[in-house]
Chain A
Amino acid sequence: MNDIAWIEKALAAARPQAMAALLRYFRDLDRAEEAFQEACLRAMKNWPEKGPPRDPAAWLIFVGRNAALDAVRRDARNTQLPSDDVLSDLDDAEAGMAERLDDAHYRDDILRLMFICCHPDLPATQQIALALRIVSGLSVREIASAFLANEKAVEQRITRAKRRVADANIPYATPGPAERAERLGAVAAMIYLVFNEGYSASGGEAHIKTQLCDEAIRLARLLLRLFPTEPEIMGLLALMLLNHARTPARLDEDGQIVLLEDQDRSLWNSNFIAEGIALVDKAMRHREPGPYQIQAAIAALHAHAKAPKDTDWQEIELLYRMLERLQPSPVVTLNRAVAVFKAHGAAPALELVEPLEERLSNYFYFHGLRGALLMELGRGNDARISFDKAISLARTPAEATHIRQHIDRLTGDGSKRQEAG
C-alpha cells in the first residue's frame, strides 16, 4: 500500500473518535466536520514527510480543534461574537486538550456521535444517511449510489437530518447508566439498519452495498470495544458477521439470488464465521439472551452445517420460539414456520403460517413460503395462487425469478402426477 492509501485508511479509522471529540468541543456538527476536514488535509501534507503520529486520532483532534478555533476567532472579528458560555466552553476545551484523551469521555463521546444519528423522529433512511456521512465519512456520492438516489436529494436529506438533530439538543453531560443503556440500544438498532441496507437485495450497486455491510461491522466492532461486556453488542456483531460471511455465495453470476440451501458453502467467508461463532459463544456465557444474540445463534447453526441436510432445524425452531417471546412479530413467526417445515413437515408449518395472512398479505416471503408449503402438500392450484401473489410483490428480478422456478417445478410436478395418475 502506498503512502496515500495508508493515510486514507488511518484517517478513516480515526474518524469516529476524532469527530466525537470535536463534536464535544464545538457542540455543532458542521463545525466539527469542518475541523476534521481541515485536520485531514494537514495530515495528508504532514504525515508522508514526518511519518504517521503515534496516535492518529489524538493528532487529528488537536490539529482540527486548533484550526477551527483560529477560524472561529477570524469569524469573530467580522461577525457578532458567540454568546459568552460558548466562548468559555471553547477556552476550557483548549486547556483540557493538551492532555491526552480521557478514556471515560471518549467512550461516551463516540456513543453520543452515533446516538445523534438515531433520533426517533428521523426516518430510517435519514438515520442511515446521517450515520454514513457523519460517523463513517462516506461521501454524498457514495451514499447516493447506495440508495440509488440522486446526490442532491441525499445532500438535502442529510442537511434536514442535521437540522433535526441540532434542534433535538441532545445533552452533552455524561449519561447515567440507564440513559447509556438506552443510547446503546438505539445505536445498535441504527447499525443494524445500515447493515440491512447493504444486505437487502433491493437496488444499489453491488460494490457499495458490500461497503455498507463492512461499515456496519466496523461500527459494531468499535462499539463492542467501547462496551466490551455487552452481550447484545456481541450478538449484533456476530449476527452481521455470520450473515455477511455468506455474501460471496448469495448471488450467482447473473445477479440472481441463490437460496441458502443451494449456496456453495465453500464460498462462505470462514474468517467471519470463526469470529461470529466465537462471539456467540462469548455472549452466551452472560446468560442474558436478547434478540441479536438469538438471531446470531440461529445464523451460527446455519454456518456450522457443512451441508444443508446437516442443519439443526430443531434447535433453530427452539431459538425462533425464544425470539418470538422476546420480540413477537409475524415475520419471526414466519421464520419459525420455515424451521417447523424442515424439522416437522409442511402441515404443522402451514398451520403456523395461515393465521399470519392478514398481517403479512403484502409480504413477498409470506406468499413464497405459503406457496412452497402448499406445493409440498400437493395443493398445486392453491400454491399457484400464492406464487402469483409473491411474484407481484417481488422487489427484485432475482426474487421473481426464484418464485418462477417454483412455478416451473410445480407445473413439472403437476404433469408428472397426471401421468402417474
Chain B
Amino acid sequence: MLYAILCYHDEDVVESWTKEEDDAVLAKRQKVQQALVDEGRMGPSIRLVPTTAATTIRASGNEQIVIDGPFAETKEQLLGFYIVDCRNLEEVIDFAKRMKEGESCTFEIRPLRIFNTGELPEKIELAG
C-alpha cells in the first residue's frame, strides 16, 4: 500500500531554524529512510515552499477567483510530505515515529491511490 506522510508544523518555528539545524533534522530522517530506500520502497520527499508563496483558487458563484495565500489560515501548516510503500499501517506508523523522533512536528498518515505516475522533467533541480 502507498502512503503519504504529511508533515505539519508551525512555519514560524521551522523558519527560525538555522541551516545547520534544518540539515540535522533532514539527516536524522534520512538515516531512518535508508532501509526503505534499500528495498526500493521510498518514494519522493517533498518540501513545500512557505505558505507566503501560496496562491489559492476558489469558486465564488460562477467565477473562479485567485487569492494570495494558503487554503486556510491555521496554527500549523502543511510543510511537506513523503510517499512510501509500506506493508500496512503498523509499518508506516513505526517508520513515521522513528523519523519524527525528538521533533515537535505532527505527522499525518494518509493511504493514497495514484491515478497516473506522471513524468517529471528529466533534469529536476533538487532542493539543497
**A, B: real partners:** yes
List residues of A whose CB falls within 8 A of some B CB: 1-2, 6, 9-10, 12-14, 52, 54-56, 103, 214, 218, 221-222, 224-225, 228-229, 234, 237, 269-271, 274-275, 278-279, 282, 285
Nearest B residue to A211 via CB reads B18
Map CB proximity to A onto B1-39 as digits: 1 under 8 Å, 0 otherwise: 000000000111101111001001100000000000000
Which residues of chain A are within 8 angstroms of B113 by Cβ–Cβ distance?
none
B122 within 8 A of A: no
- Closest-CB distance, B29 to chain A (whole angstroms): 13
Is B52 touching A9 in the complex (CB atoms < 8 A)?
no
Which one, A9, A274, A285, contacts B16 given CB within 8 A?
A9
Is B16 touching A279 in the complex (CB atoms < 8 A)?
no
B111 within 8 A of A: no
Q: Which of B47, B49, B127 has the most CB of A within 10 A?
A: B49
Chain B contact residues (Cβ within 8 angstroms of A): what range?
20 to 34
Is A279 touching B52 in the complex (CB atoms < 8 A)?
yes
Which one, A54, A225, A229, A271, contacts B51 given CB within 8 A?
A225
- Closest-CB distance, B76 to chain A (whole angstroms): 9
Which one, B10, B17, B49, B52, contacts A274 given CB within 8 A?
B49
Bound-complex Cα distance A237 to B15 (A):
13
Is B127 touching A274 in the complex (CB atoms < 8 A)?
yes
Is B12 touching A282 in the complex (CB atoms < 8 A)?
no
Which residues of chain A are within 8 angstroms of B51 by Cβ–Cβ distance?
225
Q: Which of B21, B52, B102, B126 has the most CB of A within 10 A?
A: B52
Bound-complex Cα distance A408 to B88 (A):
69
With contact pairs A278-B49, A278-B53 given, residues A14 and B128 touching in the complex (Cβ less than 8 Å): no
B45 within 8 A of A: no
- Closest-CB distance, B2 to chain A (whole angstroms): 26
With contact pairs A13-B16, A224-B52, A275-B50 given, residues A1 and B21 touching in the complex (Cβ less than 8 Å): yes
Q: Can you give 30 contacting A-B residue pairs, CB < 8 Å?
A: A1-B102, A2-B102, A9-B16, A10-B10, A12-B16, A13-B10, A13-B12, A13-B13, A13-B15, A54-B75, A55-B75, A221-B50, A221-B52, A225-B52, A229-B67, A229-B68, A237-B52, A270-B125, A270-B126, A270-B127, A270-B128, A271-B47, A271-B49, A271-B127, A274-B125, A275-B53, A279-B53, A282-B53, A282-B55, A282-B68
13 additional A-B residue pairs with CB within 8 Å, beyond A10-B13, A225-B52: A2-B102, A9-B17, A10-B10, A10-B104, A12-B16, A13-B12, A14-B12, A218-B16, A270-B125, A275-B53, A278-B53, A282-B53, A282-B55
With contact pairs A1-B21, A228-B52, A279-B52 given, residues A218 and B15 touching in the complex (Cβ less than 8 Å): yes
Q: Which of A52, A214, A228, A237 has the most CB of B within 10 A?
A: A228
Which residues of chain B are within 8 angstroms of A218 by Cβ–Cβ distance?
12, 15-16
Bound-complex Cα distance A278 to B68 (A):
12
Which residues of chain A are within 8 angstroms of B12 by Cβ–Cβ distance?
13-14, 218, 222
Which residues of chain A are within 8 angstroms of B47 by Cβ–Cβ distance?
271
Which residues of chain B are within 8 angstroms of A1 by Cβ–Cβ distance?
21, 24-25, 102-103
- Closest-CB distance, B119 to chain A (whole angstroms): 20
Which residues of chain B are within 8 angstroms of A221 by Cβ–Cβ distance?
11, 15, 50, 52
- Closest-CB distance, A289 to chain B (whole angstroms): 16
Which residues of chain A are within 8 angstroms of B104 by Cβ–Cβ distance?
6, 10, 52
Bound-complex Cα distance A12 to B66 (A):
33
Which residues of chain B are within 8 angstroms of A54 by Cβ–Cβ distance?
75
Which one, B13, B49, B55, contacts A275 given CB within 8 A?
B49
B69 within 8 A of A: yes
- Closest-CB distance, B73 to chain A (whole angstroms): 7
Which residues of chain B are within 8 angstroms of A10 by Cβ–Cβ distance?
10, 13, 104
Is A9 touching B13 in the complex (CB atoms < 8 A)?
yes
Q: Which of A225, A229, A234 has the most CB of B within 10 A?
A: A225
- Closest-CB distance, A182 to chain B (whole angstroms): 21
Which residues of chain B are within 8 angstroms of A279 by Cβ–Cβ distance?
52-53
- Closest-CB distance, B71 to chain A (whole angstroms): 12
- Closest-CB distance, B60 to chain A (whole angstroms): 15
Which residues of chain B are within 8 angstroms of A282 by Cβ–Cβ distance?
53, 55, 68
Which residues of chain B are within 8 angstroms of A225 by Cβ–Cβ distance?
51-52, 69
Nearest A residue to B24 via CB reads A1
Nearest A residue to B22 via CB reads A271
Bound-complex Cα distance A224 to B54 (A):
11
Which residues of chain B are within 8 angstroms of A103 by Cβ–Cβ distance?
73
